């Protein structure tokens, strides 16, 4: 059973968590998600959040245009991060339908995370089924990718607006 509930890109309850994420562009801003389509998840106790972005490929400047993107994930105590990630991917599949051929990607800045070893970059993502790729972004970020064949089955997400799973 998942611990995620559906949220939105300007949820004031999530802003403090987003402000503590290392990729936060503008601390205190009411919106914490890049432009475009997104799925925002939070835990009921507000100690974790996840954002799946699905930008239009023509607006993407990296080599994985067309992939779903985890643009933010922070866990401050809601259990194993790898479990939260797998559930978030399952909810993303339910929300968007069939995954794109490139699956889902996430970029990690090794200098801003606990693990400084290359083998452990994005360790919780790797435990969840993402692969650490042998290439980096132009900005030097590590790339992790989960292909569709490695994704969990779709799982409905609880939406407090509709009160339905």
Position 66 in a domain: yes
Question: The domain spanning residue 94 has which CATH number?
Answer: 3.40.630.30
Position 165 in a domain: no
Share of the chain above pLDDT 70, in %: 84
Q: Does residue 116 or residue 2 have the better pLDDT?
A: 2
How many Cβ atoms are within 10 Å of 41's Cβ, its own excluded?
25
Domain span at residue 98 reads 5-150
Position 107 in a domain: yes
Q: Quote the pTM value.
A: 0.88
Position 162 in a domain: no
CA distance 62 to 68: 12
Mean residue pLDDT of the chain comes to 86
Total domains, the chain: 1
Average pLDDT estimate for 110-120: 64
Is the pLDDT score of 58 beyond 90?
no
pLDDT (tens digit per residue) in 98-109: 999 999 999 988
Position 161 in a domain: no
Position 155 in a domain: no
Position 139 in a domain: yes
pLDDT (tens digit per residue) in 18-57: 877 766 667 777 777 788 889 999 999 999 999 999 876 6
Q: How would you class 139 by CB atoms within 10 Å of its CB: exposed for 0-12, middle for 13-18, buried for 19 or more?
A: exposed
CA distance 6 to 118: 33
Position 156 in a domain: no
């Amino acid at each position: 059973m998942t611990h995620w509930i559906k949220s939105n890109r300007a949820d004031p309850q999530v802003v403090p968590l987003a402000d503590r994420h290392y990729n936060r562009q503008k601390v205190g801003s009411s919106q914490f998600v890049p432009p475009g389509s997104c799925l925002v998840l939070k835990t009921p106790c507000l100690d974790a959040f996840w954002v799946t972005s699905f930008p239009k490929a023509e607006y993407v400047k990296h080599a994985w245009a067309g992939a779903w993107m985890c643009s933010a994930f922070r866990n401050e105590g809601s259990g194993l991060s790898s479990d939260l990630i797998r559930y978030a991917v399952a909810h993303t599949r339910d929300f968007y339908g069939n995954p794109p051929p490139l699956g889902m990607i996430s970029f990690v800045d090794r200098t801003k995370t606990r693990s400084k070893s290359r083998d452990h970059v994005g360790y919780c993502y790797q435990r969840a089924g993402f692969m650490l790729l042998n290439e980096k972004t132009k900005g030097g970020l590590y790339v992790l990718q989960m292909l569709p064949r490695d994704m969990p089955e779709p799982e409905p997400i609880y939406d407090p607006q509709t009160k339905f799973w």
